[in-house]
Structure 1
C-alpha cells in the first residue's frame, strides 16, 4: 500500500476561492495591499535619498524578494547563511547579512556562493576573534569577504559597544588581506523607553560620525562605503538622520525594514501610526496584507467558540490574533460580516479560544479571518501562502523557504 502524497501546509490551487475550495487554516496575503506596501516603502526610501534592502527573514518568500527587487530594492537583507543560500537559489544576487558569519560550516555555505562573481555579499563583524576566523577561512579559500562593522548599544543586541571598539576593530580588519571593510551597520530597534526617539537620533548620529571618522582614516575598501540601519518601526527616524547629516553624500545609505511588506494588525500598525504622526507629509501609510483564515470548530458553551487555529499557525508573542470578519463557508459571493467585537483570549497548539460578542451569530464551519501581530512569526509557520485578489480568489501560491 503506497503512502499518501504529502500535502504542503497552506497549499491551494490557483483559481480556488477561500470560502469554498481552500483547506483551512491558511495563510492569506491580499494582493492589492501587498503591492501597495511594496510601492509605498520603495517610494519612501527613494525619496529619502537612500536605498532599500528589505529584511527577507520576515517572509522568506523568494517570490516577494523578486517583487521587491523589481520595484527598485538595492538588495535583500537576511539573517544567516542558510537564508542567504535560499535567497540565492531564488535569484537574489545582493545580500546584506545583518548578522555575524560564525562557524566553519556557515562560512563554507557563503564561500560556495562567492564562486559566482555576480554575487555581492556583506556580513557583520563585532569582535576581533570573528575577524581572525573569517580572515583565515577565506584566505585559505582564495576568496575575499566583504564585512561591515556592527555598532550596537549597551544592553542591546550584537555590535561594538563603544566608538573606540569600532576603531580598533577596523584596524584588525585591515590586518586581514582576505577581508574588505565595506561599511558600518547598526540596529536601533533595541532602543526603548520614553526617550526612545531622541535615543535613536543620537544613535544614528553616532553611526554617521563613526563612518566619517573611518572614511577619513582610510579604513574602508569602498570609495562610497555603506551605512545602514533601520528595522520596521523607526525607519523614518533613521532616514531623516542619514539625510540630515548628508550620509547619502559620502556614503551609500541603506534602510532595512522587512515587516512592511505584509504589515500587521498589531505592533507594526501601532508603529506606523507613530510614523504618520511624525511625518505630516505622508498622506497614507501601509496596509495590513496578511491574515490567517480558520474555521469555527466547536461552540461548547454560550458565548464561547473554539477556532481551528493555534500556536502552530499564527504569531502570539506580540499579541493574540485579532478577529476581523466572518464568512459563510461555501457561499458566494463572499460577504464578510464584521466580528471585530469578538476576542481571542488564549491559544493552544491547534486551538484558539474566542469569546463571541453579543449579536454575533456563529455556527460550526463558519470561517473567520484573523489579523496578526508580528508577521515574522506567522510566516515561519507556513510552507505556502495564498495570494488572493479582491474577490478572495487565489491568484498565486507563494512558497516559503525557512
Structure 2
C-alpha cells in the first residue's frame, strides 16, 4: 500500500469515526462504504442486506474454479458519549465508534483495493460489511437474507477484532472458543409503595434486589461445580423505586429493576445460567410477596474457530513476519461472528492494538490507523494461502489426468 493510499484510508477511517451510526441504522455508513467500493474492481456489490437493509457485500471472482473465502467487518457504533477532543471525534451526541468498527471497515476497504489492483486467478472472495454486530442481530439477519444466500455459500469465513492491551499488530489465535457466548437480562420486581414512616404497610422489593445482586455476582464461584468451563455474571444496572423529580424520601419503594449479562464458553453452561437466574428471581419474588418478570436480550453464541483455519491464519501471519500469540483462554466479550463459524469452517482472530490502548468501549478509545494496512495484508495472505492450496490440488489432479485445469466455465484455459 503506497503512502497516498494509506493516507486516503486513514482519512476514510476518521470520517467514519466522526459520523457513527447505531446498530440497524447504518444507512449513511453503508453509503460511504459503497462509494469507496465503486472503483475497487468487484464483480458485484450487493447492498441492503439483512432485515436492517444496511449490509453490503462485495464479490470478487477469479477466472478458474476455487474456494470461496468470506471476510467480514462490522458497520455499527456504540451508544456512548465520546470524551476525545481530536478533530475526528464523533459529531453525533451519545454515539461513537469505541469498539474499532471504523478501523475494521477501513481494513476491508483496503483489502478491496488490493483485490482490485491484484485480482485473484481462481475462486471467489466475499467482503461483507455487516450491520448490527453490537446487538447480536446482524449476523443472523444477513445469513437468513435470500439475497446473501443467492451469492453462494463460502467455503471459509474469517474476521478479526482489534484487542487493546496487546502489542500493536500482534496476531492473537485460539483454536476452539475464541470469544464467549452471552445474553443480557432484565428482572423487574413489583410490590406496593407505602409512606416511608410505615414501610411495613407496603411490599418493598429492596431485600429481593439486594439478594439477587449478591447471588448473581457470585455465580462464577457458586456454580463452578455445575459448569464445564468458567462462567461470569455481571450486574450492569439496578434501580429501586422511582424518582422522576428527584429523591423521594417520603415513600418506601414498590418496584425495582435489575439488569446484567451472563457469559459462558459453552451453550449448555449458558442455559444453566439462564435456568439458575430464572429460578432465583422467582424464589426471591415469592418470598417477598412480589410479582416479577424476566426478559432476555442481545443473545450471542460463542465464537469458535476451526483448527485448520487457525493454522491458515498462523501461517499467513508468519509469512508476513507478524508476532503470533497463542491464547490459553477465550476472551470474555462476545461476537456475533459465531453464527458464521457455526455455519462454515472459519476463524476469528485478534489483532493487538497497543499495550497502552484504552479498553474496548472506553469513552476515550480510538482505532490505531497503523493497523489498517496490517489487517488488510493479513487477510490477503490468508486468501492467497487458500488459493495456493487449491492450486496445488488442481495441479496434482492435472498431473494424474494429463490435462490442464478447467476455467470456471469448465473449458481449459485458452480454449
What's the TM-score once normalised by structure 1's chain length?
0.26
- Point out the structure with max Rg over C-alpha: 2
